[in-house]
Structure 1
Amino acid sequence: EEAHAELKRDYLIHDEKIELMQNIIDRQLKAVPDLYELGQEVSIYIGIPFCPTKCAYCTFPAYAIRGQAGRVGSFLWGLHYEMQKIGEWLEENDVSITTVYFGGGTPTSITAEEMDLLYEEMYRSFPDVKNIREVTVEAGRPDTITEEKLAVLKKWNIDRISINPQSYENETLKAIGRHHTVEETIEKYHLSRNAGMSNINMDLIIGLPGEGVKEFRNSLSETEKLMPESLTVHTLSFKRASEMTKNKHKYKVADREEIVAMMDDAVSWTKQHGYHPYYLYRQKNILGNLENIGYSLPGQESIYNIMIMEEKQTIIGIGCGAASKFVDPRTGKITHFSNPKDPKTYNDRFEHYTNEKIRYLSELFQKHAKSGSQQE
């Protein structure tokens, strides 16, 4: 009650947003009861900086993979090296891994053989992989999903993936630079289900160019036919370096009133279909001054998403463009460290960046160990 009163008085937050935050905290603590005791563990983010094409709203490190064969091979060499060295340090210092998240880019842009070698490296390098609580692979672009790649995921006991429609309007997909169709999204969803993917996340974006309430309701209606375990509802953000921001005049988006109406539809639809909000974040230049909300069916929350948002443990970023957050378990102080976004720079200096991360980890965990022994 004190926290609610302070949020209302000092931060001018409306009652419905306070209730949303409280619901999220309650859901997080059901999903991860020891959420505030995981400072002694780490999670790992592995960035694959390639995609079939670059989306108009995107500022992630994502290079069109066509014609990049040489750079992909060099990049994967550096990535394997990082996994080995970070894994060695975790093993030697008895630090457990809570979750692993393969993001990007689109990690399923690389070949099935390259994926197979990557997950084999994870099992070889990381300590106690069988007891990691969750491994997720972003397969966000349906045009990268094949039976062969799904078989590789299953082989390595990975069953949590993302397949991201963003919209169920083919015209919208063309406008934002995604080279897949609505029909392909649905087809690849069923293919993934049949291949044993038992925890599928899907993303929708409110406010894409040319879309209003009618189009967004159609996306919700199509989602209802699939019922993924989790659904993340993003509100479009005009990120500074995106193609969409650089050429704003080309992209007509809905006004604030319509954006809010679409968010209201998302809130009603998720509640009606048994989804609960479990994480939330905001970005600069977001339409309608709203937020991005992750919903899931009970028990299907992404632990990694909770850990990255709550900032209660260190997240080690491995790979091109991957950002690390080193969280001091005693003070909560966060130190950020990023690998270069450009594959060539990464390929030239991955050993240096690996050593820097190990230095940060050594300082952080040794300091905490000393502090713990002094308290004893």
Structure 2
Amino acid sequence: MNKLTYSYRGPLPLGSVVAHYCGAAGLTTYKEGPTWLLVGEEQATQYSLAVYENGTLQATFTGSLTNEGRLHIGGQLLRLLRTHQGLAPLGDWGTLVGVRPTKLFHKLWDQLGSAEAAIERLRTQYEVTEPKLALLAQVAGLQRPYVAPSADSDRLVSVYGGIPFCQTHCTYCSFPYGLLQDYKRVPQFVEAFVADSEHLQSLLATYHLQLATLYVGGGTPTSLGEADFETVTTALAKLLAYSRTAKALEFTVEAGRPDSVTPYKLQTMARQGVSRISINPQSMQDSILKAIGRGHTAQAIKDLYEYVRLHTPFQVNMDFIAGLPYQQEVHMIENMDYVCQAMPENVTIHTLALKRGSPLYEGVGREAMPEEKAVQAMVAYCKERLEAAGYVPYYVYRQQYMTSQTENIGYTLPGHECEYNIRIMEERQSILSVGPGSSSKWMRAPEYRQLQQHMPKDVSVYIDTLDTLLGKRSQLCKQFWEG
């Protein structure tokens, strides 16, 4: 029986907290015979959580009928689950399990009046260690000009375009809708995406909005054929007319796989005003790339990067993952050797997270994943090498079911940070979206509470209900900017 499975029954507010802390401990839900059974109750003045391992009661935790009480129970549960796995009771992040730790940092900064006060709160309430507190302070300090409350930012927006196709399915990924070659309605998708973009352009004009950044992600946007890729990027590029400044706007396209990129697509991006692309190796070892389902070689990454440097003006981001099946620290050393020779403007170091619906989550290759200490050593090594080469961290986030109590960190050469990554992570600017699986969020200081619209992940549903979806987006824009 898998020791990292659990089932919960009880009140929903407590269950939501339990899910976050179980995820932080590496547990996944499993209804039939899980190792851990968690039974919550809401009583007159407090919550209680009984924790059973293989039918034997291990502990009962209690907390007040407040968010603080639920978090207290979650912290105790995390300690128990990690201890029973032979791990230290808490990792470097203490009992802080949220996806966006810097978002909390900025909120505390606003409430308490200083970064120092925010640090102290995280130290005492969540038991975050000094190295992580230093990381948060450094990142938040760099981000602060972008996210500090401002009276003139209400109509400043960013735009995300989602292309949900790839050409192969990575074993760790659950995000793409499917493989491009298997989808029979690509022309209708392109037509719908263009209509979606044109509708968004009309909203920018109607509400006198200014565009801060434009980001195209996926899936792999460059998996589209050359003509279709040109059509969708041309449609999105029309939004650049609403740029907040006269200078070139940050326009990013994820071109993550070299097997999906052609010289014509790169020329198309240059013509449309793209300023930044992502080339995402994940690993520079062919054996690991094959094991995780990537359809390219390490040499193809090197060739693409060299071509981009010689023939385009693009800034470049590269992604790497720590914790991949069969990965050892020597592999990460090789990865960083390449990065420090190539010197892309941005480098993101991800810690592998098990995502529902991915082959890895279902067990394919999990036995070959490195242990927590090995992953932590890889992440620490990347930090040391990148900072020695002149990079600084500029955004950080975490995920459920990460293979260790670490984080994902975006590094940048000074002055080259990706503004969109900061905007999307800290959720302090309205971000409007185009395409299936994308999300629009309307945000306003000081509460930064959200109106939201989530486009269907199913591409056919997106195509067939587009008129209704665009009508809802119009209503939400009217409610936000006129209500």
Match for residue 58 of structure 1? 173
* Conservation of the 8 A alpha-carbon contact between 1:27 and 1:276: no
* Conservation of the 8 A alpha-carbon contact between 1:161 and 1:199: yes
Match for residue 193 of structure 1? 309
* Conservation of the 8 A alpha-carbon contact between 1:78 and 1:347: yes
- Does the alignment pair 1:75 with 2:183? no
Match for residue 373 of structure 1? none
Query: Quick one: higher RCO (CA 8 Å, sep 6+), 1 or 2?
Result: 1
Match for residue 328 of structure 2? 212
Instruction: Write the distance in 2 (CA, Å) between the matches of 1:49 and 1:82.
Output: 15
* Conservation of the 8 A alpha-carbon contact between 1:43 and 1:100: yes
Shift of 1:326: 2.0
Q: 1:302 to 1:249 in 2, by over 3 A?
A: closer
Alignment of 1:1-376 (within 5 A): 1-29=116-144, 32=146, 36=150, 38-68=153-183, 70-124=184-238, 127-129=241-243, 133-248=249-364, 251-367=367-483
Aligned CA RMSD, in angstroms, stands at 1.8
Deviations 1:162-203 (A, max 9, x none): 000000110110111100000001001111112214310000
Which consecutive residues of structure 1, in runs of 5 or more, have no partner in the other structure?
Answer: 368-376
* Conservation of the 8 A alpha-carbon contact between 1:159 and 1:196: no
Over the matched positions of the two proteins, sequence identity in percent amounts to: 32
Shift of 1:33: 7.8
Q: Secondary structure at the match of 1:289?
A: coil
Q: Secondary structure at the match of 2:325?
A: coil
Shift of 1:133: 3.0
Shift of 1:107: 0.8
TM-score relative to the length of structure 2: 0.73
* Conservation of the 8 A alpha-carbon contact between 1:87 and 1:126: no
TM-score relative to the length of structure 1: 0.92
Deviations 1:32-79 (A, max 9, x none): 4877553421111100011111111112134211243x4221111111
Shift of 1:243: 1.1
Instruction: State which drifts further: 35-44 or 195-204.
Output: 35-44
Q: Secondary structure at the match of 2:432?
A: strand
Match for residue 48 of structure 2? none
Instruction: Write the distance in 2 (CA, Å) between the matches of 1:176 and 1:102.
Output: 24
* Conservation of the 8 A alpha-carbon contact between 2:253 and 2:278: yes
Instruction: State which drifts further: 244-253 or 149-158.
Output: 244-253
Deviations 1:186-240 (A, max 9, x none): 0011111122143100000000000021111111112122111000000000012
Q: 1:275 to 1:226 in 2, by over 3 A?
A: same
Q: Secondary structure at the match of 1:288?
A: coil
* Conservation of the 8 A alpha-carbon contact between 2:372 and 2:403: yes
Normalized per residue, the structure richer in helix is 1
Instruction: Write the distance in 2 (CA, Å) between the matches of 1:345 and 1:134.
Output: 31
Q: Which amino acid aligns with 1:171?
A: S
Shift of 1:262: 0.7
Instruction: Write the distance in 1 (CA, Å) between the matches of 2:206 and 2:173.
Output: 38
Match for residue 374 of structure 1? none
Q: Which amino acid aligns with 1:79?
A: F
Shift of 1:248: 4.5
Shift of 1:83: 0.9
Q: Which amino acid aligns with 1:111?
A: G
Match for residue 372 of structure 1? none
Q: Which amino acid aligns with 1:53?
A: T
Deviations 1:225-261 (A, max 9, x none): 2111000000000012111111246541111111111
* Conservation of the 8 A alpha-carbon contact between 1:47 and 1:318: yes
Instruction: Write the distance in 2 (CA, Å) between the matches of 1:50 and 1:35.
Output: 37
* Conservation of the 8 A alpha-carbon contact between 1:75 and 1:347: yes
* Conservation of the 8 A alpha-carbon contact between 1:90 and 1:127: no
Q: Secondary structure at the match of 2:230?
A: helix
